Amino acid sequence: MAPVRQEAQLGTVTPWAPVAGHVDAASPSWLERLRVGRWAPPLVVLILALVLWEVVVDLTNTPSYLIAKPTEMFSATANNFHLLMTQMWPTLYEVVLGFACSVAIALPIAIFIVYSRAAGRAVYPLVVASQVVPKVAIAPVFVILLGTGLFPKLILAFLIAFFPIVINTVTGLQGVDPEMLEMVRSMGAGKTRAFAKVRFPAALPSIFAGLKIAMTLAVVGAVVAEFVGASKGLGYSLLVAQGNVDTALVYADLLVMTVMGLVLYAILEIVEAILLRGRRASAAEASSHYSM
Amino acid sequence: MGIRSVNAVSSNAAAEAPPVSKPASGGLPVRLRNVAKAYRVGPRWLPAVQEVDIDIPPGEFVSIVGPSGCGKSTLLKIVAGLIPPTGGEVEVDGRKVTGPTIEAGVVFQRDLLLEWRTALENVLLQAEIRRQPVRNHEQHARELLASVALEGFEDAMPHQLSGGMRQRVAICRALLHDPPLLLMDEPFGAVDAITRDQLNLDLRNLCNRLGSTVLFITHSITEAVFLSDRVVVMTPRPAVVASITEIDLPATRPLSIREEPAFGAYVREIRETFEKLGVLGGSEPPAVREMRAASGRDSGEQGTERGAPWRRSGKKRS
């Protein structure tokens, strides 16, 4: 049998003809990245837990000043809706502003730590070690120093949200494949272009892991600062309700805080889903360093 | 000297080059003089490459074959200007390489695609990094992808592509700026045999068309003979040049050329060099030391494999 002569021509032999539908099927849109299917099971469990809570409180006849039932919590929320909303705005403001400040300061510091060997050696160990300081316990210090206005809350929210962003950003930026950087260097990229085209985008999943932790912690920071000294806000409202033995309202305050935190977290998730669209899913959750 | 691809460009390009390609850019001459590289491992220096002298005229396709870990990749990165040699120097187009050789298109062992970019965007990265308007290159990028049978995959994300497809995207990226010098580091190592044959065909044709100078690292003797005008054989680490074989085959090479006697003779010649080096067959490398001693002017005086020859060039530097 004569050997088959393959004519050497570019692109004429195509054993890799595009498979119809292959690309579309595997490509996750940003909506798919949110994975609605993942939400349903925990939602069911949550509802079951609420029902169990209601039933147990009912059966044990626990007085309502000791513990509120979910129905009481929801009705207290509805009855005091206007009050809760007016108390929510200051807290929301503190959280968002504190978070924004921590992002604005933590990202440049992380970049500085990665690019400057001196900073990496001198500053980074301190940043890591300072995580041991119970930041919530610093709240009184700031109230003494700065009074009961917006500022101490801002600072505490900032301080508590700051570290996870720095640490995750540093980890992400340092984790970039060195050969990727070599590759763009061979094309003539300097540090700036290598950062913009490779290093930063490669670190994005890790940065978002840090941002999400930071967002939940910023809520903690703002509320704790309000506990220590405030004249408005959800933390303040909660303390007042506690003083009045209005247990249902305490729970309603908690519910509003939780929902507020969830919404802020969801906004971040959506931004992340949009920015990371097309990437392999689950890479985002791979590295997250929890810190408090 | 074999039939060089530069000669073939005029006849080939006019006849069969698709409207795709810009006119052949011609190649750059590359000269390696006494290139040496040693790495510091703990307290001592381990030489990776020693005393390598290779002269590549413009438009020539030169392959470097050698056992794995012999320092071939190091050599390529030195030519690419990504790592500095610890001795000797490299000249590209008559100029000494001191930083990245940005005229070159570099294909690495791994495809190094950016996971967050589509195939097309990955190819266009070359233009973006060079601060050239992406719009001017998009058509060329599409044509390059089509020329390696990736038409229809322009918008696919890297994780949706197979290993061979990814590597072809990486090759297109390296070719976007019509590089007069192509540096390829075992680009087909992770690719299955059939795809590899196809990529070899494509690459040989492409080089005939562009007339670029190519430095190609591989550990496949057949691949080296099929693609190259000259094949450089390296010894095991620390690597020196063991032999240089001229491949006198026609510029246009169908896969079937591999069954021809002349092709087989070249393969045998190179294989026998490896056997002499002890890389294939035997256990002890009897000829390695001799060759190293012969290639370096006065190296290997102690008979110890590491240290001595390089320490000398270190002194020269300081």
Give dist(CA B137, CA B151) in Å, integer.
16
- Whether B174 contacts A183, CB under 8 Å: no
What are the domain boundaries of chain B? 5-103+182-317, 110-178
pLDDT < 50 regions, chain A: 1-25, 282-292
**Yes or no, beta carbons of B112 and A179 under 8 Å apart:** yes
pLDDT tens digits for B93-135? Answer: 988 999 899 889 999 999 999 999 999 999 999 999 999 898 9
Please tell us whether the domain made up of B5-103+182-317 is placed in CATH 3.40.50.670: no
H helix intervals, B111-253: 119-129, 134-147, 163-175, 193-210, 221-227
Phi/psi class of residue A283: alpha, beta or left (left: φ > 0; alpha: ψ in -120 to 50)? alpha
Of chain B, the percentage scoring pLDDT greater than 90 comes to 39
> DSSP readout, B28-40?
--EEEEEEEEEEE
Predicted pLDDT of residue B308: 38
Quick one: closest CA in A to B252, which residue?
A: A8
**Yes or no, beta carbons of B100 and A186 under 8 Å apart:** yes
> Which range (A39-48, B11-20, B54-63) has the least confidence?
B11-20
Please tell us whether the domain made up of A70-275 is placed in CATH 1.10.3720.10: yes
**Chain B nearest C-alpha distance from A188 (Å):** 5
- Whether A152 contacts A223, CB under 8 Å: no
Task: State whether residue A38 is helix, strand or coil.
Answer: helix
Q: Which residues of A sit within 8 Å Cβ distance of B?
A: 3, 5-11, 13-18, 22-23, 26-27, 177, 179-180, 182-189, 193, 197-198, 201-202, 204, 276, 278-280, 283
Specify the higher pLDDT residue, B293 or A241: A241
Predicted pLDDT of residue A34: 65
Nearest alpha-carbon partner for A135 in A160, A154, A155: A160
- Whether B218 contacts B210, CB under 8 Å: no
Specify the higher pLDDT residue, B224 or A281: B224
Using CA atoms of B14, B17, B23, B26 in order, give the dihedral in degrees to the nearest 10: -90
**Chain B nearest C-alpha distance from A272 (Å):** 13
Residue type, B26: G
**Yes or no, beta carbons of B126 and A187 under 8 Å apart:** yes
What is the residue-averaged pLDDT of chain B? 80
Sheet holding B30-41, edge to edge: B44-56, B30-41, B87-92, B95-96
**Yes or no, beta carbons of A5 and B118 under 8 Å apart:** no
Predicted pLDDT of residue A172: 94
- Whether A153 contacts A226, CB under 8 Å: yes
Specify the higher pLDDT residue, B316 or B54: B54
Binned at pLDDT 50, 70 and 90, residue B281 comes out as low
**From the centroid of its chain, how far is CA B170?**
14
Using CA atoms of B218, B221, B225, B230 in order, give the dihedral in degrees to the nearest 10: 60
Is the pLDDT at B13 greater than 80? The verdict is no
pLDDT tens digits for B19-49? Answer: 343 444 578 899 999 899 988 888 888 888 8
Enumerate the residues of chain B whose CB falls inside 8 A of the CB of residue A10. Answer: 18, 147-148, 202, 205-206
Give dist(CA A24, CA B237) in Å, integer.
47
Predicted pLDDT of residue A28: 62
- Smallest Cβ–Cβ distance between A189 and the set B129, B146, B254 belongs to B129
Is the pLDDT at B80 greater than 90? The verdict is yes
A35 is written with which tokens? 């994975």
Label residues B137-159 b or e (16+ Cβ within 10 Å = b): bbebbbbbbbbbbbbbbbebbbe
A261 is written with which tokens? 């935190």
- Whether B123 contacts B145, CB under 8 Å: yes
Predicted pLDDT of residue B10: 38
Predicted pLDDT of residue A7: 39
**Yes or no, beta carbons of A201 and B153 under 8 Å apart:** no
B302 is written with which tokens? 């102690």
Is the pLDDT at B309 greater than 70? The verdict is no
Predicted pLDDT of residue B70: 76
Enumerate the residues of chain A whose CB falls inside 8 A of the CB of residue B259. Answer: 3
Quick one: closest CA in B to A18, which residue?
A: B152
A197 is written with which tokens? 């085209």
Quick one: closest CA in B to A26, which residue?
A: B160
> Which range (A46-60, B139-153, B211-225, B283-297) has the least confidence?
B283-297
Residue type, A175: G
What are the domain boundaries of chain A? 70-275
Predicted pLDDT of residue A187: 93
* This model's pTM is above 0.80: no
**Chain B nearest C-alpha distance from A18 (Å):** 6
Quick one: closest CA in B to A275, which residue?
A: B116
Predicted pLDDT of residue A2: 44
**From the centroid of its chain, how far is CA B80?**
10
Is the pLDDT at B258 greater than 60? The verdict is yes
Q: What is the mean pLDDT of residues B233-260?
A: 88
Q: What is the mean pLDDT of residues B187-193?
A: 81
